[in-house]
Amino acid sequence: MLALKAEGVRTIFGYPGGSIMPVYDALYDYTRGEKKAFDHILVRHEQGATHAAEGFARVSGEVGVAIVTSGPGATNTLTGVADAMIDSTPIVVIAGQVPISALGTDAFQEVDLVGVAQPISKWSYQIRRAEDIAWAVSRAFYIARSGRPGPVVLDFAKNAQTELVEFMVETVDFVRSYVPYPKLEQEAVQAAANLINGAQKPLALVGQGVELGNAQDELIAFLEKADIPAGRTMLGLSALPSTHPLNVGMLGMHGNYAVNLKEQECDVLIAIGMRFSDRVTGNLKTYAKQAKVIHLDIDKSEINKNVKTTVAVVGDCKASLPALTALINKADHKAWRDSFKPLDEMERVRVIEPAIHPQEGPLRMGEVVNAVAEATQGDAVLVTDVGQNQLFATRYFRYPKRRSICTSGGLGTMGYGMPAAIGATFGAPGRTVCCFMGDGGFQMCIEELGTIMEQQAPVKMILMNNNYLGNVRQWQDMFWNRRKSFTRMMNPCYELLAKGYGIPYKAVTDRKDLAAAVSTMLTTQGPFILECAILEDDDVLPMTPPGKSVEEMQLEVR
């Protein structure tokens, strides 16, 4: 407990068990009375603990912490660990383990956690002796939060939990062969500046790395000086305010039409803290072949991994962006920026207006998201589950503030939404947390309603119920001859579920009642479930079909 306290930890998400019981016994004293140092949030499933830690980390900028027991308790965290790894989220998972004397005997709830976690974490380590605890915890937090952030797993043998040792604070700020902040090469910065200064049609692609590096101001200064339009990845949506005039929308398979097509027209492409995911690039064989590519990233392994780079600027964007800004010329690319407008208007008329302002028929996901976004006036944190709810929500929410989005990007983890939203309420206690979920994802971690009930965590849950696994259904309709194989769902009575957990609930089936229901949700203290009956075959558009080039993005289902 003292080692966690030394790292500034205040909130822990966890679930006790036999092999972590000594830690929980010590935790008892540190969660009450004069010694109180932590708030412990008892989740209902260990996967929920890791997702809650992720949500906490994403909105707070701190390291999220989860504590669980050995065996299934530890393995239940692995989905969250993998999710945090691919989305660069700093969490530390501390899992109990059988005593060293029992290792290798197939003891009750023994599992090789270090071996299992190693490929999906930044570092995994087994604490075998009490004298190693302070060092291991400090090193874990240093690795998790430094450089490109990510998850660390500590496998904590039970004998080490019960041994006595005099505690001394250890501060780890160096690990041999680990270089979290590469030295910025001025030659690369100059080469990148030369390309930008000669560009006629530059385009920036902004990723979550900008927020992870707390470089939002540096990004804006760079873009404004060079007058560069910027698209944002899904995880990077709040790195640049939605209302900024240089924001040209969201990148990717279901992003905005103009910015995706313009990737195939720009002459200089500047990727900032993003990894060229397949969901952004589409077919790599045809992606941005006409452009000179500048890639700014803290992780050298991302350079040339997917897209061949003309100039690589390896380093923390908090440092690389100002260095680049100092060398670029003040520019005016109005004609280039104006060329986005006809495509934006085409998308607005053919896709956006019908989605957020439908005139008839059942409720649409887009109009529900829009109604909540308008009512919260940009102050809310958006949390989503995975599927159509995620894609509609990220498209139509607003992001005027930093660290305003929590969603599972790279792993696409259904069930992420509810526990991540719980974590977000503790990571940003002064902000409204709106969690959009489909009926599939809602039921994947439905047990966390118990955590919400106990904590009275003020999660505003918007359940967009279309009785389908909607995203899979859309793909089946578009690419599998409408053969809806096991995507229709029989759902429970959510009103009764809400009543069982003592959570206020309201259902909306008619759009004339939507605004009032949203207002009721937002003005009700504590948690709330708003169930919206959604058009069953509502489709997310635009869409770049899988395996196709980004210029083949479709504005309608064909």
Q: How far apart, in whole angstroms, are the C-alpha atoms of residue 254 and residue 502?
A: 37
Reported pTM: 0.97
How far is residue 274 from each of residues 223, 252, 337, 455, 457, measured CA to CA in Å? 16, 12, 22, 35, 32
Residues 36-86: pLDDT tens digits?
A: 999 999 999 999 999 999 999 999 999 999 999 999 999 999 999 999 999
Residues 344-400: pLDDT tens digits?
A: 999 999 999 999 999 999 999 999 999 999 999 989 999 999 999 999 999 999 999
Q: How far apart, in whole angstroms, are the C-alpha atoms of residue 120 and residue 82?
A: 5
Is 433:459 a contact under the CB 8 Å cutoff?
Answer: yes
Q: How far apart, in whole angstroms, are the C-alpha atoms of residue 50 and residue 43?
A: 10
What are the residues whose beta carbons fall under 8 Å from the beta carbon of 25, sequence distance 6 or more? none
Structure tokens at 199: 């560009």
Instruction: Tell me the mean pLDDT per 10 residues along the chain, length 558.
Output: 96 98 97 94 98 98 98 98 98 98 96 98 98 97 98 98 94 95 97 98 98 98 98 98 97 97 98 97 97 98 98 98 98 98 98 96 98 95 98 97 97 98 97 98 97 98 97 96 96 98 98 98 98 97 96 92
Q: How far apart, in whole angstroms, are the C-alpha atoms of residue 338 and residue 334?
A: 6
Predicted pLDDT at 378: 83
Predicted pLDDT at 286: 97
Length of the chain: 558
